[in-house]
Structure 1
Amino acid sequence: METNIALKADHIIKYFYEPQKFQVLKDVSFEVKKGEFLSLTGKSGSGKSTLLYVLSTMDTNYEGELFINGEKLTGQSQNNLAAFRNEHIGFVFQFHYLLPEFSALDNVMLPAMKLNKKSKQEIEDKAYKNLKLLGLEDQALKLASKLSGGQQQRVAIARALINDPSIIMGDEPTGNLDSKNTQVVFDIFKELAHERGQTIITVTHDDDFARNSDRIIDMSDGVIIKHH
């Protein structure tokens, strides 16, 4: 596989079995280059969030193969996948899942503390740097529960970046944000992709957001209807 490919989905097929058997992904194949900012779009029920969940390695119940950075992840154990995710993938969800009783700084540090490859001091310095990148250094010691929605979402992005993941995956990362904060998040993603070579894959309903990313993969009824 070429070294400039960050992620490759090969003939991904996925069924739901409740309430009856239903094919939600129908033979989906595509590649994402390193440093590319990709938007996955499509109506509700098109399969885009299900696809993201498969790409994230959290859903292993599918047919076909998934490669990230040249490594085949299909068929690996849950423990291996959890370790791989923590090191290589940063997640930004519509709901930020911050721990409310921890400070912004502590929330950002958590995935790196778990990875346990750097000293606490190094991790703290990196966490401050990330908060600064997002214009939040002055909020670092505030409890997450005391921050505004826009601030919480930016803390979640700072946390997603803490282990320098090669891929950042977002599920409606601006779904709860006003247009000003949506623009902030968009600009950060663009910078991460184009300045740092990180790959961004986001599911979005926001047409402007999608249109301004590098590439759109539009889905309908479990298939890719167009790349543009």
Structure 2
Amino acid sequence: MENLALSVKELNKYFYDPQTFHVLKDISFDIKKGEFLALTGKSGSGKSTLLYILSTMDTAYEGSLTINGTTLTGKAQNELAAFRNEHIGFVFQFHYLLPEFSALDNVMLPALKLEKKTMEEIEEKAMANLKLLGLEDQALKPANKLSGGQQQRVAIARALINEPTIIMGDEPTGNLDSKNTQIVFDIFRELAVERGQTIIAVTHDDDFAANCDRVLELMDGKLIHQ
């Protein structure tokens, strides 16, 4: 159990409007710390719905979710929000950076919200993350002046700022060309191997998925392959 980053047991999810629809069906799996995992399936298979539950954003489900030894099922929204900010980093298909803020300021935001370190410590950590991602020379540039690949790397640096247990990506390379897709993949691989961080990425990219440690494939709300 100590080596588990995330555990899902007998997960079921229903939509009720306009009629009852069973979206996720009896899903159970464990993810080890430091594992780089791809979540795949055709559109409508339920993979984004599953990621939303794993991220603790959606609490209307049956079953149990445990992250880093903490069972999160049934917790209040404010508890979940605090847990998310400390333990989960997010990288989306669209980077969601604040366009007028510098790259450095964007990276610092989640740590400022967490309020566990001084401003100086947060700025130092943010710069270290930008350096890790080859962006230290872009630190003071407004986010809207960066290329698409650079913006996505800033989003990864931001996801890392609170040293989360898990990084969750929703099509993190969906808007990138093949060169930048490879750069992002290599960054994730390095984070998993060197830092022991767990990566869960929803992807339509077969090459991306094939190079991950493990693939969870969904079809019609069921886990058909892992």
TM-score range, shorter chain: over 0.9
Offset from partner CA, 1:12-56 (integer Å, 9 cap, x none): 100112222111100110000000000000000000010000000
In the alignment, what sits opposite 1:23?
22
In the alignment, what sits opposite 2:170?
171
In the alignment, structure 1 segments of 5+ residues that lack a partner are: none
What TM-score do you get using the length of structure 1 for normalisation?
0.98
In the alignment, what sits opposite 2:148?
149
Offset from partner CA, 1:129-175 (integer Å, 9 cap, x none): 11111111111111111111111111000000000001000000000
SS in 2 for 1:60: coil
What is the 5 A alignment of 1:205-216?
A: 205-216=204-215
In the alignment, structure 2 segments of 5+ residues that lack a partner are: none
> Counterpart amino acid of 2:95?
H
SS in 2 for 1:163: coil
Q: Distance in 2 between matches of 1:149 and 1:16?
A: 35
1:192 aligns with 2:191: yes
RMSD: 0.6
Q: Distance in 2 between matches of 1:131 and 1:137?
A: 5
In the alignment, what sits opposite 1:139?
138
Q: Distance in 1 between matches of 2:81 and 2:120?
A: 25
Identity %: 77
Q: Distance in 2 between matches of 1:175 and 1:200?
A: 16
Q: Distance in 2 between matches of 1:133 and 1:141?
A: 16
Q: Distance in 2 between matches of 1:195 and 1:135?
A: 16
In the alignment, what sits opposite 2:111?
112
> When the two structures are aligned, how many residues end up with a matched partner?
226
Q: Distance in 1 between matches of 2:24 and 2:178?
A: 32
In the alignment, what sits opposite 2:54?
55
Offset from partner CA, 1:100-142 (integer Å, 9 cap, x none): 1111100000000000111101110110111111111111111
In the alignment, what sits opposite 1:41?
40
